[in-house]
């Protein structure tokens, strides 16, 4: 799993870390049932506070991504992953419909919108 923290990003630290762990889980980079580093170990490696990593784990747990067992550590949740991927898909749909509404209010045509999307994919391929 890779976690990169940006100092220029406007996003709070815990959010950056949380999003990247979430992405690693959703992409299957972290397997179901896999043990995560302890909050202190993660904090030390990332040079952030344990309070930040604790918050990350607490939020990931309440969102159903991980499970914490007292004395054993935190694990990637076993079951709900399908459900989570589904909810992630739903988020994409919501964002797309927002983009679509903005485009419509600006008079951007369907064709133009598609070509913007194509461009994003082309850029990704180039990377």
Token readout for 7 is 């100092």
Interatomic CA distance for residues 78 and 75, integer angstroms: 8
Binding-site member from 2, 4, 10, 127 for other proteins (CB under 8 A): 10
* Candidate ranges 10-18, 62-70, 81-89, 108-116; the one touching other proteins (CB under 8 A): 10-18
Q: Which is nearer to other proteins, 52 or 77 (CB)?
A: 52
**Does 35 participate in binding other proteins (rule CB under 8 A)?**
no
Q: Which is nearer to other proteins, 39 or 77 (CB)?
A: 39
Decide the pairing of beta strands 66-69 and 73-76.
antiparallel
**Does 97 participate in binding other proteins (rule CB under 8 A)?**
no
**Does 107 participate in binding other proteins (rule CB under 8 A)?**
no
* Candidate ranges 47-55, 83-91, 96-104, 119-127; the one touching other proteins (CB under 8 A): 47-55
Binding-site member from 43, 66, 76, 77 for other proteins (CB under 8 A): 43
What value does the CA radius of gyration of the chain take, rounded to a whole number of Å?
A: 18
- Angle in degrees, 0-180, between the axes of helices 81-105 and 110-126, rounded to the nearest 10: 130
What is the DSSP code string of 68-90? EETTTEEEE-SSTHHHHHHHHHH
């Amino acid at each position: 799993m890779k976690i990169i923290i940006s100092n220029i990003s406007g996003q709070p630290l815990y959010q950056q870390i949380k999003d990247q762990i979430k992405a690693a889980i959703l992409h299957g980079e972290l397997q179901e049932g896999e043990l995560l580093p302890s909050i202190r170990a993660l904090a030390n490696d990332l040079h952030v506070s344990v309070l930040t990593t604790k918050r990350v784990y607490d939020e990931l747990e309440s969102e159903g991504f991980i499970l914490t067992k007292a004395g054993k550590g935190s694990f990637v949740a076993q079951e709900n992953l399908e459900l989570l991927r589904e909810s992630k898909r739903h988020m994409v749909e919501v964002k797309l419909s927002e983009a679509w509404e903005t485009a419509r209010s600006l008079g951007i045509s369907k064709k133009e919108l598609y070509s913007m999307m194509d461009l994003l994919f082309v850029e990704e391929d180039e990377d």
